[in-house]
Amino acid sequence: MIIPLILIGALGSLSFIRNTKWKNSITLYEDILKKYPNNFLALNSLGVENMQRNNDDRALMYFNKATNVAPYNYKGFYNKGLWYLKNNNPKKAIEEFNTVIVMYNYPKAYVARASAYYALMDYAKARKDASNALLVDKNNSKAYFILGNCSNNQDDLPSAINFYKKAIDINKFEPDYYFKRAIALGKQQNFKDCVEDLNSCLALDPNYIDAYYWRGVAKVNLKQDPCEDLKRAAESGMEIARGAYEKFCQ
């Protein structure tokens, strides 16, 4: 769940509407391009807006144009790297983030590149980049989250839980942080605290389907009724949840 998390943090504040003649930010920037076809801000922002709307082909077109007209502006390459992360091409994402870091010691680029290395299961490089980001910004919750994920995947559960705690202490409103700590707690057979973290996750995002499934699993281990949670996950189309529901609830 790292990739959706980085995209939201990086792209969330670029929209603005200056005049009621524009229906949305896309029409605003498109209007700017009619007058100034090489305007970097408009090109880069159109890439961001289209990527947020899952118009990924158009987004990449705008990012390519943005980096062509402003080859020394790191933001275009950073956003293009996020595009490759979103589209499951971590190797290409790393190339873009490398370009960013040569230009500017940008903490977000280290975190994003750490996510790409994590996706490639290169945990040593992911850890190094996340740690470098923390040297620049000690309150970077996403860097702690990636360190937690690396430790979790390598079954260093005490370290994973500690990193997730640090991420949550910095940002208490990110459901992924609670979900991943819940998974680590479940691996430790600490199902009570696991359920509490899944409760927190679902309070922040009631549509977090994986959390319903794993809360159902934890309740099975606590000898509690899991059926409502397993049913919710099964109804979303999760096959493993459907199997668990049939086993424990029918």
What domain range includes position 93?
1-104
Tell me how crowded residue 73 is: count the other CB atoms within 10 A of its CB.
Answer: 17
Match 């679902």 to its residue by tokens: 202
26 belongs to a structural domain: yes
Residue 201 clears pLDDT 50, i.e. is over it: yes
93 belongs to a structural domain: yes
99 belongs to a structural domain: yes
Tell me how crowded residue 61 is: count the other CB atoms within 10 A of its CB.
Answer: 15
Residue ranges of alpha helices (H) inside the chain are: 2-11, 25-35, 40-52, 56-69, 74-86, 90-103, 107-119, 123-136, 141-153, 157-170, 175-187, 191-204, 209-221, 227-235, 239-249
Segment 51-76, tens digit of pLDDT: 999 999 999 999 999 999 999 999 99
Overall number of domains in the chain? 1
Contact 213, 244 (CB under 8 A): yes
Segment 31-45, tens digit of pLDDT: 889 999 999 999 999
74 belongs to a structural domain: yes
Tell me how crowded residue 224 is: count the other CB atoms within 10 A of its CB.
Answer: 14
| Entry pTM | 0.85
95 belongs to a structural domain: yes
62 belongs to a structural domain: yes
201 belongs to a structural domain: no
Task: Supply the CATH number for residue 86's domain.
Answer: 1.25.40.10
Segment 202-212, tens digit of pLDDT: 999 999 999 99
154 belongs to a structural domain: no
